[in-house]
Amino acid sequence: MSTSSKQSTSKSTLKPTLSYWHVWTDDDGISHQTRCELTDFTQESMGGNAAPQWNNRLMSDDAEVLFATLPVAWVGEWHENPRPQWIVPISGVWYVETMDGDRVEMGPGEISFGADQNTQADAAGRKGHTSGCVGDQPAKLMVVQLKGDAYLAARPGDLS
């Protein structure tokens, strides 16, 4: 076995993690964003003769997959995520600003899990979050919206 093969074999046994932003609601009805890690990866084949890969099988509820394009300068005024949903930018940059004032900008490959259901309007009438397109290019997103209720208002740590 060559040195490079040994190195790739030893690296493949290191259990990976995957970072994402979790948009959630606290006990006072205020939305926040917390950087979280998915950690429950196991090695398994996807089938056939495919070599094992690291998979984190997180959710098995029914889901709808949609692709969205946010036009340049688009702003989604204050709103809650309609359902718990994963949002992954494919191209361009978009932002999410929560009621606590945190604003996170995300580009291709970054991930957000939106679970800010059950927020309460603050003194300024803000409820949930606002989001929008950043820069001079449209933001193209893939959204995986969960149909079951298991992850409604999920909090950081609920997903592992």
Please indicate, yes or no, if residue 72 is contained in any of the structural domains.
Answer: yes
Q: Does residue 5 surpass a pLDDT of 60?
A: no
Please indicate, yes or no, if residue 120 is contained in any of the structural domains.
Answer: yes
pLDDT at 10: 42
Please indicate, yes or no, if residue 156 is contained in any of the structural domains.
Answer: no
Please indicate, yes or no, if residue 8 is contained in any of the structural domains.
Answer: yes
Instruction: Give the confidence band of 4 by pLDDT, cuts at 50, 70, 90.
Output: very low
Number of domains the chain contains:
1
Residue 100: domain span: 3-146
Please indicate, yes or no, if residue 133 is contained in any of the structural domains.
Answer: yes
Any idea what the CATH number is for the domain that residue 68 is in?
2.60.120.10
How many beta carbons lie within 10 A of that of residue 97, not counting itself? 18
pLDDT tens-digit readout, 109-154: 999 999 999 999 999 999 999 999 999 999 999 999 999 899 999 9
Q: Shortest CA distance to 19 belongs to which of 88, 85, 80?
A: 88
The answer for residues whose C-beta is within 8 angstroms of residue 134's C-beta and 6 or more apart is 92, 93, 94, 95, 105
Distance CA 5, CA 130 (A): 48
pLDDT tens-digit readout, 21-77: 999 999 999 999 999 999 999 999 999 999 999 999 988 879 999 999 999 999 999
Please indicate, yes or no, if residue 152 is contained in any of the structural domains.
Answer: no
* Residue 93 · residue 103 · CB < 8 Å: no
pLDDT at 160: 66
